[in-house]
């Protein structure tokens, strides 16, 4: 349903409401009617939209057909880079699979660094705020949380670039450096600032969530029972309180991380990272239907996979849950 909705919106709906002709866009503004019609037949746009969608989904499930390869692939170039399961880009005649394969590692790296920062910040601060309710730490952390949730991520990004990049020179202004395991510092040096900016938005929400969950859990009967049996405060908090208080956090983390892998559009554009988010904006702006469809399917699959992973993790954190 997700792919169908995207296909229809960027295909028949856009063409009928805005008068956009994808064949004209691919052929160029100065192309003649004959060249546009030839491009339309070459791309298969002369067929009804439902037949185009059937061909598209058949390619996704079964892979490119021999006809697809003969029609698209150019001699002397890798055919896998020109056509794939997700089709061929209208904008640059390159396989959507290859486009995603090139952009996804950058988004994955940004997402992992971001997740480490926001989880590393939110869980300790949230737990300490719950244990020291009403203290200076609790009140100050809530102020920071409200600021983090109120201001958009691009605002923090521009401020971070101005102060830490331009004025102080602590971090580069933009760009991306490939990860080299023999010397990972240049890669991390370029990744810390965008990841920290993006993590601040997530950490603001997760601090409130962890604090709220811990306040509820620490008043449960089994916590009082553990204390009455002589369990140490650390064991009560970590073994009994935190383990149960993190269950809702795990659910949200799986969904948020899956969404983040679908592309951090504003952050990637602000810091010049050529990831999935930047590719999505470029494809949508040029009405590249195969690329947009492929990215939507890819992001949807990631969200489903991470939600499944969250369900599997439940049995580890909560022994009361048993998988059938």
Claim to verify: residue 43 and residue 117 sit in the same structural domain: no
Instruction: Identify whether residues 54 and 198 lie together within a single domain.
Output: no
**Is residue 113 assigned to a domain?**
yes
The model's pTM: 0.80
Q: How many domains does the chain have?
A: 2
| 175 and 107 assigned to the same domain | yes
CATH number at residue 251: 1.10.3720.10
Q: What percentage of the chain reaches a pLDDT higher than 90?
A: 0
Indicate if 56 and 198 belong to the same structural domain: no
Residue 253: which residues within 8 A CB-CB, separation 6 or more?
A: 115, 119, 206, 310
Q: Which residues of 168-194 are buried (b: 16+ CB within 10 A; e: fewer)?
A: eeebbeeebeeeeeeeeeebeebbbbb
Neighbours of 290 (CB within 10 A): 24
Q: Are residues 166 and 269 in the same domain?
A: yes
Separation CA 65–CA 59 (nearest Å) = 7
Residues 271 and 216 in one domain: yes
Which of the two residues, 281 and 77, has the higher pLDDT score?
A: 281
Residues 104 and 21 in one domain: no
Residue-wise pLDDT for 128-147, tens only, equals 888 888 788 778 877 777 77
95: which strand partners? 88
88: three-class secondary structure by DSSP = strand
Higher-confidence residue of 71 and 234: namely: 234
Q: Give yes or no: residues 52 and 157 share one domain.
A: no
Domain of residue 203 covers: 98-317
> Do residues 27 and 124 share a domain?
no
Strands (E), 201-250: none
Tell me the CA distances in angstroms from 127 to 67, 200, 215, 224, one per residue in order.
59, 17, 9, 18
| Euclidean distance between CA atoms 65 and 83, whole angstroms | 10
**Are 298 and 205 members of one domain?**
yes
Assigned domain for 261 exists: yes
Domain closes at, from 41, 62, 83: 62
User: Looking at 62, 82, 108, which one is the last position of a domain?
Assistant: 62
When mean pLDDT is compared across 78-87, 202-211, 228-237, the lowest value belongs to: 78-87
Q: Are residues 6 and 115 in the same domain?
A: no
């Amino acid at each position: 349903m997700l792919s169908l909705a995207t296909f229809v919106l960027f295909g028949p709906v856009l063409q009928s409401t805005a008068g956009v002709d994808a064949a004209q866009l691919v052929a160029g503004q100065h192309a003649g009617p004959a060249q546009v019609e030839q491009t339309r037949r070459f791309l298969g746009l002369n067929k009804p939209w439902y037949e185009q969608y059937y061909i598209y989904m058949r390619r996704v499930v079964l892979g490119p057909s021999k006809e697809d390869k003969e029609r698209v692939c150019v001699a002397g170039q890798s055919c896998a880079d020109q056509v794939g399961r997700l089709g061929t880009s209208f904008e640059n005649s390159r396989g959507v699979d290859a486009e995603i394969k090139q952009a996804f590692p950058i988004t994955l790296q940004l997402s992992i660094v971001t997740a480490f920062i926001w989880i590393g910040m939110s869980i300790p601060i949230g737990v300490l705020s719950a244990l020291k309710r009403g203290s200076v730490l609790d009140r100050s952390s809530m102020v920071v949380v409200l600021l983090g949730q109120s201001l958009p991520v691009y605002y923090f990004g521009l401020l971070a670039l101005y102060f830490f990049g331009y004025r102080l020179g602590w971090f580069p202004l933009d760009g991306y450096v490939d990860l080299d395991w023999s010397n990972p510092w240049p890669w991390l040096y370029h990744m810390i600032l965008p990841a920290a900016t993006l993590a601040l938005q997530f950490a603001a929400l997760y601090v409130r969530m962890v604090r709220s969950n811990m306040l509820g859990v620490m008043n449960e009967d089994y916590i009082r029972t553990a204390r009455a049996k002589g369990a140490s405060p650390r064991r009560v908090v970590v073994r009994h309180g935190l383990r149960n208080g993190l269950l809702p956090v795990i659910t949200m983390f799986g969904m948020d991380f899956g969404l983040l892998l679908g592309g951090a559009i504003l952050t990637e554009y602000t810091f010049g990272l050529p990831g999935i988010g930047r590719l999505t904006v470029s494809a949508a702006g040029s009405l590249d239907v195969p690329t947009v469809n492929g990215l939507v399917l890819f992001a949807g699959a990631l969200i489903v996979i991470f939600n499944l992973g969250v369900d599997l993790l439940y049995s580890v954190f909560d022994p009361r849950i048993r998988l059938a």
